[in-house]
Every structure is written in structure tokens, then in C-alpha cells.
Amino acid sequence: NSACYYQSDLDILQQFIDNSQDGENPPPYDLSPIELGEQVWGNGRLIQFVCSTSEKSTNLEFELSSEIPYEIGNLENLTELDLWGNQLRGNIPESIGNLKNLTVLKLSSNQLTGEIPNTISNLKKLRELSIGINGISGHIPNWIGNNTNLTHLFLYRTQLSGEIPESIGNLTKLEFLRLSGNNHFGEIPESIGNLTNLYQLWLSNNQLSGEIPESIGNLTNLYFLDLQINQLSGEIPESIQNMNNLDILRLNKNQLTGEISKSICVLNIERGDNFYFNLSNNYFCPPYPKCIKNYVSEQDIINCP
């Protein structure tokens, strides 16, 4: 139909089809590569490739499997790569760092293993990085702070461990940060307070300890804060009352103690029915301020030092 496509780009799409034939629900073996998923081309080069089982995608008929072809790094014009919700396995290829025009990289909900490749630090235009719900291990690399155009960072429900690096505070354009369901330990970095554009912060279900940093009160755009199921201790910082947009606050199942009326009650009074919070299963001691008496538990009394 008078259209031209680079053969090398088509070959990579064909590799995805060929590699998936041993999977449980592969694409048809005779599927034309130009019909795989959703594609946008420009000047004969592949610009966007979405082959996802996400509800936002129209491709729900089959799943890609096996490894991501190493040759993926040859798609030098690619700006969006969305392979969410397939059965891809193996390591994320180092060659992904060659995609210098990439703004969106979604690899969540697969069976990927290995560590986050260092070459992702080369993707200076990257706005969204999503590799959650995989077997990714290692730690969040310190270089993540160099990807300063990120607005969405989703590294949840993986095998990541180690401390959250202070360099996370360099990502001042972040709007959504989700690091929940990992094995992170150590303290929440003070630099988290630099992320003043955040709307959602998920740090739940880790092994985080120490106190909640006072700088968290700088996140005045935040409407969702989830710190539940950690080992956080100390008092709830009074700066939390500065979060006038906060709708949901989850601090349950930690080791928090001390005075809470000055911070939580202020929000509860100002936000009214728009404010949901859970403080249960901590170490708070009675008597409880009226505003929170329905949000603590018998376990708090048991844990009370």
C-alpha cells in the first residue's frame, strides 16, 4: 500500500513472534509483524510499540513470552515501548539503553529477572519507567537520580532490596512514586521532601525503619501516602498537617509512638469526610484524642511501651 518499513525494525517484531511460540498463549506463528500489537511508524521507522494485556490496550488476544530480543536496542527512533502484562522472562537487555529517544518504558507484570540495567541511566528523555511485578533483584541504583525527566517511577512488588538512595530526591518532576512490596530497609531518605510535585507515594510493605522524615511535610500536592506494614518508629511528624490535599494516609502496622493529636487531628478536622486514615497496630498509648479513637486498635494498647 505504498508504505515502506525498515526491514531491521520488522525483523525485531518478527523475533517477538518467533520467541513466543513456545508460550501458553502465543501470537499466531504466521502473524505479519506489522500486525503485532499497536504500532506507530514515522519515516519508515518504528516510533511506538504497544503489545500489552493492559485494559488500556486493545491487544488482549495473546501474550508474548521468552526473552526480550537483544536487538531491541536497534529501534533507535522508538519513543514508547509498552510490554506490560506478558510472560516475558530473562534479563532486561543492556541494549535497551541505546533507545535514546524513549520516553515511556513499561515492562511490569512479566517474569523478568536480573538487576535493573545500568544503561537505563542513558535514557535522559524517559518520563515513565515501570518494571513492577517481576523478579527483578538487586537494589535501586544511585544513578536513578540522573533520570531527572521521570514523572512516573513504578518499581513495586519485585525482589529489590537495600536502602532507597538519597538521589531519589533529584527526581523533582516525579508525580507518582511506587516502591511498595519490596525488601527495602533503612530509613526513608530526607531528600524525599524534594519531590514537591508528587501526587502519590507508595512505600508500604517493606522493611523500612527509623523515623518518618520531617521533610515529608513539603509534599503539599500529595493526596495519597502509604507507609503501612514497615518498621517505622518515633512520632508522626507535625509537618504532615501541611498536606492540605491529602485524601488517604496509611500508617498502620508500624512501631509509631508519641503524640498524634497535633498532626493527624488537624487534617481530620480540616479535610473532614474527604480524609481517610489508618493508624492501627502501632505503639500509640491511650488516652486517644477524640478525632482518632476509632482509628487505633487493641493492638496499640498491647504494644504501648
The closest alpha carbon to 196, from 134, 135, 163, 242, belongs to: 242
CA distances to 86, 126, 187 from 96, rounded to whole Å, are: 18, 12, 31
Q: Which of 33-47, 148-162, 242-256, 270-284 has the lowest mean pLDDT?
A: 270-284
Phi, psi of 249 (to 5 degrees): -130, 120
Sorting pLDDT into bands at 50, 70 and 90, what band is 256?
A: very high
Each residue's pLDDT tens digit, 174-205: 999 999 999 999 999 999 999 999 999 999 99
The closest alpha carbon to 108, from 70, 126, 81, belongs to: 81
Sorting pLDDT into bands at 50, 70 and 90, what band is 294?
A: confident
pLDDT at 56: 59
Phi, psi of 149 (to 5 degrees): -90, 0
State the Cα–Cα distance between residues 83 and 65, nearest whole angstrom. 10
The closest alpha carbon to 56, from 96, 85, 28, 16, belongs to: 85
**Contact between residue 199 and residue 175 where contact means Cβ atoms under 8 Å apart:** yes
Each residue's pLDDT tens digit, 198-246: 999 999 999 999 999 999 999 999 999 999 999 999 999 999 999 999 9
**Contact between residue 291 and residue 265 where contact means Cβ atoms under 8 Å apart:** yes
User: Is residue 150 classed as helix, strand or coil in its secondary structure?
Assistant: coil
**DSSP of 229-262:** SSEEEEPPPGGGGG-TT--EEE--SSEE-S--TT
**Contact between residue 156 and residue 179 where contact means Cβ atoms under 8 Å apart:** yes
Cα atoms found within 13 Å of the Cα of residue 122, Cβ hemisphere only: 13
User: Is residue 283 classed as helix, strand or coil in its secondary structure?
Assistant: coil
- Which residues, in sequence order, are bridge partners of residue 115? 137
Residue with cell 524525599: 192
pLDDT at 26: 95
Query: In the numeric block, which cell numbers belong to residue 200?
Result: 502519590
Give per-residue burial for 114-151: e unless 16+ CB within 10 Å, then b: eebbebbbbbeebbbbbbbbbebeebbbeebbbbeebb
pLDDT averaged over every residue in the chain: 94
pLDDT at 55: 60
Each residue's pLDDT tens digit, 32-88: 999 999 999 999 999 999 999 876 555 557 999 999 999 999 999 999 999 999 999
Average pLDDT over residues 151-166: 97
